[in-house]
Amino acid sequence: MTGWPDRRLQDLLGIEVPIIQAPMAGVAFADMVAAVSEAGGLGSLACAMLTPEQARKEIALVRKQTSRPINLNFFCHQLPRDDEKRETHWRKCLEGYYRELGIGADERFPSSNRGTFDAPFCEMVEEFAPEVVSFHFGLPGKALLDRVKSTGARVLACATTVEEARWLEDRGCDAIVAQGFEAGGHRGMFLTKNVSAQVGTMSLVPQVVDAVKIPVIAAGGIADARGIVAAFALGASAAQLGTAYLFCPEARISQVHREALRSSRDDQTALTNVFTGRPARGVINRLMREIGRPGVSPCRCGGHAPAAGRGGERTRRLSSPLVRPGCSALHRTFGRASDQTSCRHGPFQAGRP
């Protein structure tokens, strides 16, 4: 562990303050990325729900607003295979919701799959040469990773365990995002499937700091200056905030989502995979209660879900009580249930309601 303050990450990335806006697919776009970077932090554009063409447009908009460092974030998961039998099965399970919402049971919807980092995305990185590129669910193959590093970009990646952090360091990452159990959104786990063994930010960060030589970024449950100071005390070089930025006007979320963020208590979030098939933390809503509630295995599926991480289509029983069988039909049906502190006030204040 280095002494405090630890400026390694600021110097490495060329940022003024050790604050990273977490990549948030579907809700944080060019205006938020540029605002955070202009305020001295590191703005992040999540590309998982964008095509390369859409991402190019967002990056161009960012560059019109700032020349400061930015982060492009990508998923590195194995895309699920189409399974018509499974899709039909889930549509049968969701018939009641279709009727309630006035949606035809046989109506077809665009795929809700998140894109994975591939050659077209790599070409985009080579074209724009962002200062930082980050990955979730591990890393891409060596050939693609070498191409990213050849652009001069610093590479960050998410670890949820010490083992994952060491794995990422061994493969050339420049810094580690240590994601505690409290973090909103998808768990970045890729070497483990055991959700119940994931630890919180306070426990994970110092262990990762002691295990690797590269800078560590604390993520999970950090929403204000108190959490940032605590992260530094644990040895982190920076803090990554996500949900806090959803209070900014730049966040593209619905009023229902904003109201849920303001009114939710500490015991009203949970991990679930009913939306995307992978464990992710969100505010408990009707769908999670009715399809992912404890003790319920809908459609007699036995509480199994597609394996996370590098395991592809293998199945296993997840131990979190709200992690239940999920598929794209859920996201297609319900969409995103998608405050006025602006990002332009600076990265320290942006998350304050």
Do 91 and 128 lie in one domain? The reply is no
Do 153 and 243 lie in one domain? The reply is yes
Q: Is the peptide bond before 5 cis (omega within 30 degrees of 0)?
A: yes
User: Which pLDDT score, from 0 to 100, does residue 110 have?
Assistant: 66
Q: Is the pLDDT of residue 3 over 70?
A: no
Residues 6+ apart with CB under 8 A from 13: 42, 69, 131, 132, 154, 175
Do 137 and 99 lie in one domain? The reply is no
Q: What's the whole-number mean pLDDT along residues 144-156?
A: 98
Query: Is the residue at 344 inside a domain?
Result: no
C-alpha span between 25 and 321 (Å, rounded): 25
CA angle 167, 312, 218 (to 5 degrees): 40
C-alpha span between 179 and 134 (Å, rounded): 13
Q: What's the whole-number mean pLDDT along residues 250-261?
A: 93
Give the CATH number of the domain where residue 19 resides. Answer: 3.20.20.70
Do 195 and 239 lie in one domain? The reply is yes
C-alpha span between 335 and 278 (Å, rounded): 16
Query: Is the residue at 126 inside a domain?
Result: yes
C-alpha span between 179 and 297 (Å, rounded): 28
C-alpha span between 269 and 171 (Å, rounded): 34
Q: Is the pLDDT of residue 12 over 90?
A: yes
CA angle 137, 244, 186 (to 5 degrees): 20
Q: From the CB of residue 344, how many other CB atoms can be counted at a distance below 10 Å?
A: 17
Chosen domain end from 229, 252, 275: 252
More confident site: 346 or 219: 219
C-alpha span between 293 and 290 (Å, rounded): 6
Does the pTM surpass 0.75? The reply is yes
> In the predicted model, what is the mean pLDDT of the chain?
83
Do 71 and 218 lie in one domain? The reply is yes
Q: Where are the alpha helices (DSSP H) in the chain?
A: 8-13, 30-38, 52-65, 84-93, 95-101, 119-128, 142-150, 162-170, 201-211, 225-233, 255-263, 286-291, 328-334
Range of the domain at 320: 80-111+266-338
Domain count for the chain, please give it.
Answer: 2
Query: Is the residue at 134 inside a domain?
Result: yes
C-alpha span between 73 and 153 (Å, rounded): 12
Contact predicate 179/164, CB 8 Å:
no
Do 128 and 240 lie in one domain? The reply is yes
pLDDT tens track for 35-59: 999 999 999 999 999 999 999 999 9
The model's confidence at residue 154, banded by pLDDT at 50, 70 and 90, is very high
**What whole-number percentage of the chain has pLDDT above 90?**
65
Chosen domain end from 197, 219, 252: 252
Axis crossing angle, helix 201-211 with helix 162-170, rounded to the nearest 10: 40
Query: Is the residue at 348 inside a domain?
Result: no
Do 138 and 182 lie in one domain? The reply is yes
Do 168 and 304 lie in one domain? The reply is no
Q: Is the pLDDT of residue 301 over 90?
A: no
Query: Is the residue at 229 inside a domain?
Result: yes
Query: Is the residue at 323 inside a domain?
Result: yes
Q: What's the whole-number mean pLDDT along residues 271-296?
A: 80
Query: Is the residue at 241 inside a domain?
Result: yes
Do 230 and 139 lie in one domain? The reply is yes
Do 234 and 133 lie in one domain? The reply is yes
> Cα–Cα distances in Å, from 206 out to 50, 164, 180, 209, 319?
34, 14, 11, 5, 26
Chosen domain end from 202, 219, 252: 252
Do 328 and 234 lie in one domain? The reply is no
Axis crossing angle, helix 52-65 with helix 119-128, rounded to the nearest 10: 20
Do 207 and 240 lie in one domain? The reply is yes
pLDDT tens track for 175-232: 999 999 999 999 999 999 899 999 999 999 999 999 999 999 999 999 999 999 999 9
Query: Is the residue at 353 inside a domain?
Result: no
